[in-house]
Every structure is written in structure tokens, then in C-alpha cells.
Structure 1
């Protein structure tokens, strides 16, 4: 069944030859081994200047996932996220951003009945640089590099096996403006993730730097008429190197987020 769903989503979006929009879309994080997963976020995007070059995006989100032996994407809690990011389009076609994030992620046993073992907390800071190419009136290509620092704790803020991680993410994304009516867009993106970690256990040491994941996503985005809200609905396939799920085509995500867009409002001093 999930293979058929994957073919439907992938076929619809690939036939449209399109890509992803960074300004509104909130991409799902990796939720570990599973067959299927669900990601939902509510965000607030604020314009900070009259030219629309500076903005912030803050969001709260949850994720749920299945076990490895079923396809119930709502089966168990997978993650809770708070994120705040600041964007600056400082030059034509160029943008940078920086962010801080808190994540709380349950850890489950890797074999049936997949009981919860513990909860891991993560604090993350990252920076991102993007360059956009105009490929005609409706099509854009955006290439992005993102560098992250991730620090991990147990529920009581004690150290865990993985002390911290440095992760590099490289993403290419196409954006196609489908229709000016309700600002409809279709999207396709591919992102490769590379990382190196410092471990506390079994000994204090570094892992080797290398490729860890590939995430392929397709989205449909539109504005809700006569409201300040944008809706993004999509599919993502997370291909995790060395995981059990990669033998079944990766982890298949259904994703949906709602963005409240707040325009710039000049304040009188």
C-alpha cells in the first residue's frame, strides 16, 4: 500500500517538474527507523522591514511514526520541536539565515514490541546560505548549504552516548509557480546530510565524517483565500544509510504545516 502511495505522490510531482519553497515550507526532521511517519507544524512568519528582505519564522511542531512492522504513521510519538529562525535576503538571489532549536525525541527499542527506552533532548544552532537562479518566469532553482551544531542530553540534562554532532546539509530545490490564484506552487527537493560526532561512550572519541542520509521531498503550497495563512502539504522519503528502513525504500512521511504570515507594520516612536 505504501509503495502505491509513494508512486502516486512521486508521479504527480515529477510530472510537473517542480520544486520547493524555502520561505514557507517547514521540512520534516529525521525521525529514525520506521515505515511511515507524520509531521505537522504551526508557524508564524513576520516581515521585519518594508522591503521584505528580513523576516523571522518561529514554529512549534510534532512528529509521529510507525513501528518497523506496520504502516500506522500515527502509532507513537516521535518528536516535539520548537524552532526560531531569522532570514536576511542581503543581495539579489542571495540569502542567509541563522536559527536556534529545541527538540525532544523519545527513544524506542529496535526490536519488537518496540517499547520506549528513554527520551533524548537536543539543542541545535545552525546557519544557512542560499543562492537562487531564475530559470524563466515561473521556475526557480535554489541551492542551499546549512551547517549545524547539535548537543544532546537525557531528560535530566545528563550526558548521553553521543555528546554533540557537527552536521552539513546540502540541498537543491526547484520552485514552480503553478498559478497566481491563491499563490499556488508545486515543489521538489533533494538534500544530502553529512556529519561527524563526538562520543562520550564507550570512550571519548570522534566518529568519521561521512554521508548519513538523503531526503527527497515533494510539496503543494497555497494561500487560504482572504486570510493571512499559507498551507503546505507534502511527501518526504528519508533514506538513512545503514538503517533497516532503507531496505523498504526509506521512511515515507506525510507532512502538513500551517503558516501565519504577519506583514511589516511600521511603529511610531
Structure 2
């Protein structure tokens, strides 16, 4: 049993509530997967232009011969992101993330591999354009990432460094006048180069499609997000992984 607990974390989203979920991380090739996260989002200044978002999350996967998305523990994530909305429609972010991901053998009974896990330290930025049209909020973003991989003892993994670029489009549709119920959809394409002894070619790797329903309880400052993600890995022999995702956010618990 894995217990998730959090201290007082910072976070909330900027005025256009278009980046409202803690989206699932990619968990590699599997049939199905699940993702749960809890976090806080908090405004950091009186003009509400600087925000911080922190979340803790865990993911589970099915075995290759089954479809239970909760069967095996896969990943544990701690993530912190600071956002500055410096213009009406423009924002940039900086973030730091730590991840522990279990590695399993690809033959039955799919026990832990050797080494049993991969650790990751990730530094990334985000540049976003955001706007609204009637009942729809939408955004386009570019996210460059630098990823460092380690074995469980913190020695460098065989594939030890990766630079990845992520391009995402997102739209959120308000379902009521109070904007407490939303449906959102995203599409995100990823390109990367990885170093072992030398750097590989920089090329397309995967694309992810998400569909979410969000419900906000303003008086309790909670937002609940329930979603589905389809991760299409590869260019020719494509692997489709189906994710069930759920996260809980606490919105702006401290007034500035």
C-alpha cells in the first residue's frame, strides 16, 4: 500500500483556466495504465500573474498479457512548476521534477528487471499562448525538457540524458455559467534525442490525446478531474496505451 501525503504545497492556475489537470506521464509500452495525482495551485502575487503548482502522483500499468490498469506499480512523481503570465495572452514557466519508475521483465511472470527501476531528474520550461472564445478557453504551448536518468543507486543509466520538445494544443469548454463544470481536450506531439555513448537523431517519438471532465467546488476550493489519455508510441509499428486518470487540486488556499 502506497500512502501519498503532502505538506503545504503551492499552486493554482492563471486566470484562463486552460491548463487545469496534472496530466499522466508516459509509462512506456503497456496495454492499459492508470494515474492519480493530488496537488495545490496558488497565486503568488496580488496581480495574480505569478503562480506555483506542485503535485504528487503515482501511476500503475497492466502486464503485457492483461488489461488491468492497476496491476503493477509503475511511477512516482514529485513536480513543481512556477508560471509568470507576463502579458494578457502569454506566459512562461520553469519547473523541476523527480521521478522513480519501476522496470519489469517482458516475459511472464513480469517480475522486476535488473536494475529494478530508473530514477529521473527533469528540468523543463513552458511557453504558452492563451485566449478565450465565447465559452471556450484554448492554449498552445511549447515545452523543452532536459532529462537525466539514473539507476537506483544514482549511477548513470545506459541512456543517461535526453532532450525532448513537446508541442501541445488544448481547448476547454465551459458547461455552465459559473464555469464550475468543464470538458477539455488536448493533443501533444513529442520529439527527442537521447545520449548513451553519443546523441541519437532528433526525431518524432509519440503523440498523446486527452479528454477530461472537470468539476470545481468553489467554496471548498477543490477541483476534481477525471480523464482518459490515448498514448500512441512509435512511427510505424504503433503501440496504443490507454490511460484512466484522476486528480484532485486545491485551488488558491492562501489569499494574498
Kindly indicate whether residue 84 of structure 2 is the aligned counterpart of residue 91 of structure 1.
Answer: no
The answer for unaligned runs of 5 or more in structure 1 is 1-19
CA distance in 2, matches of 1:263, 1:78: 31
Residue in 2 aligned with 1:165?
162
1:19-70: CA deviation from partner (whole Å, max 9, x where unpaired)? x954321100000111111100000111111222111001100000101111
Q: Is contact 1:98–1:127 with CA below 8 Å preserved after alignment?
A: yes
Q: Structure 2 residue aligned with 1:219, among 212, 217, 234?
A: 212
SS at match of 1:174: strand
Residues 241, 178 of structure 1: alpha-carbon distance in 2 compared, 3 angstrom cutoff: same
Q: Deviations over 1:164-185 (max 9, x none)?
A: 0000000011111111346111
Query: Does structure 1 conserve the Cα–Cα contact (< 8 Å) formed by 2:204 and 2:235?
Result: no
Contact 1:93 1:131 in 2 (8 A): yes
Unaligned runs of 5+ residues in structure 2 are 1-15
Partner of 2:244: 254
Specify the SS of the correspondent of 1:171: strand
Equivalent residue, structure 2, for 1:14: none
Residues in 2 aligned to 1:210 and 1:197: alpha-carbon distance in whole angstroms: 10
- The equivalent of 1:13 in structure 2 is none
The DSSP-based 3-state class of the residue aligned with 1:205 is coil
CA offsets per residue over residues 104-125 of structure 1, 9 Å max, x none? 0001112322221111100000
1:239 aligned onto 2:236: no
Distance 2:53 2:236 in 1: 32
Match for residue 105 of structure 2 among 109, 124, 138 = 109
- 8 Å CA contact retained: 1:191, 1:214: yes
Structure 2 counterpart of 1:124: 122
Shift in CA distance, 94/241, structure 1 to aligned 2, threshold 3 Å: same
Question: What is the CA RMSD across the aligned residues, in angstroms?
Answer: 1.8
- 1:193 maps to which residue? 190
In structure 2, the CA distance between the partners of 1:187 and 1:21, relative to structure 1 (3 Å rule), is: farther
Contact residue 182 and residue 225 of structure 1 kept, 8 A: no
The structure 2 residue matched to 1:68, chosen from 56, 61, 64, is 64
Cα deviation 1:159-212 (Å, max 9, x = unaligned): 11111000000001111111134611101110000000111xxxx111111000
* Whole-angstrom CA distance in 2 between matches of 1:54 and 1:43: 17
More helix by share: 1
Asked whether the equivalents of residues 42 and 61 of structure 1 are also in contact (C-alpha less than 8 Å), the reply is yes
CA distance in structure 2 between the aligned counterparts of 1:92 and 1:169, rounded to whole angstroms? 23
Call closer, same or farther: CA 1:129–1:159 in 2, change over 3 Å: same
TM-score (normalised: structure 1)? 0.84
For residues 72-125 of structure 1, the C-alpha deviation after alignment (integer angstroms, 9 at most, x for no partner) is 111000100000000111101111111000000001112322221111100000
Partners of 2:135 and 2:174 within 8 A in 1? yes
Cα separation, 2, equivalents of 1:159 and 1:208? 21
Moved more, 178-187 or 39-48: 178-187
Which of 11, 19, 41 in structure 2 is aligned with 1:23?
19
CA shift, 1:225, in A, is: 5.3
* Contact map agreement 1:61 1:82 (CA 8 A) in 2: yes
